[in-house]
Amino acid sequence: MLSEIDEFVRERIVLAGRAIESRAASSIRPGECVAIFGYSSLVSRILIHTWRLAQMVRLEKLTVSIPLKGYCFSYYHMFSMFLIYILNSATTTTTPGDSRTLSLTSGQPRTSMTQGEFSVLVVDSGPHFEGRRMLFELTQAGIPCEYTHLGAIPLLASKISLLLLGAHALLNNGYVLSRIGTAQLANIVSRISQAPVLVCAETYKFWDRAQSDAFEYNELADPDAIWKSSNEGLLAESDSKQV
């Protein structure tokens, strides 16, 4: 039984995730602005994997002119490690701009991206605001990111080149089951910037079920979670006033 579970995890989650990482990495072109929504562990791995590949290509171009003789190998190795340290330095800067958008970059501020690099626009919304976790992971990896709320997307959609989304389930009629706000984000981006939408899901999320609307599952959730504040003190104060 345990061996079957391990085999399921290896084939349907681990290997499927690696295959998706390789395929999705080829879809992200240099200089693109990739928009993501909320948090998805698979999307996070895809972006970090693609960024590291771009950094390796950049490092090879920087060191291609260095002689690779035997007595120079140790110096070449030290120089490579020094470049990797510079590229992955973890200082964070904030750039001025729209008050609804927070721009974060790793390392020194750069006026333009080098070949192979891309930027990420992290879109977030309630009730869970999972995009903050995604923002932390991507900035720790050195990826330049912007963080914004779903309500500000109409003002920023024109800069988006690709929308990369995770999924909770993929139904047999092609519909995607995901967090609240995903359909709204995809519709806005496709209408304003005509950017392609790429949905990433492992095979264990494939569901032999057909569904044409979201009302059925929305009614099963807590409707108060949409408007409730994360500050329990404010909720307690409002309840006391009603009493």
Q: What counts of helices (H) and strands (E) characterise the chain?
A: 9, 10
DSSP 74-104: HHHHHHHHHHHHHHT---EEE--S-TTEEEE
Sorted by sequence, the CB contacts under 8 Å of residue 49 that are 6+ apart come out as 21, 25
The answer to whether residues 18 and 46 touch, using CB atoms and an 8 Å cutoff, is no
Each of the 243 residues of the chain gets a pLDDT tens digit; together they read 788 888 888 878 888 888 888 888 888 888 889 999 989 888 888 898 888 887 777 776 665 544 444 444 444 444 444 444 444 444 333 334 443 455 554 443 333 444 457 889 999 888 788 889 999 999 988 889 899 998 888 988 888 988 989 888 888 877 888 888 888 898 898 889 888 888 888 888 888 777 766 666 666 666 676 666 555 544 444 444 444
User: How far, in Å, CA of 14 to CA of 185, rounded?
Assistant: 28
Domain segments of the chain as ranges: 26-58+115-229
Q: Domain 26-58+115-229, what fold?
A: Rossmann fold (3.40.50)
The H or E element that residue 241 is part of is helix 232-242
Report which of 212, 217, 209 is spatially closest to residue 172, judged by C-alpha positions: 209
C-alpha dihedral sign at 193, 157, 188, 17: positive
Please tell me the predicted confidence (pLDDT) of residue 227: 67
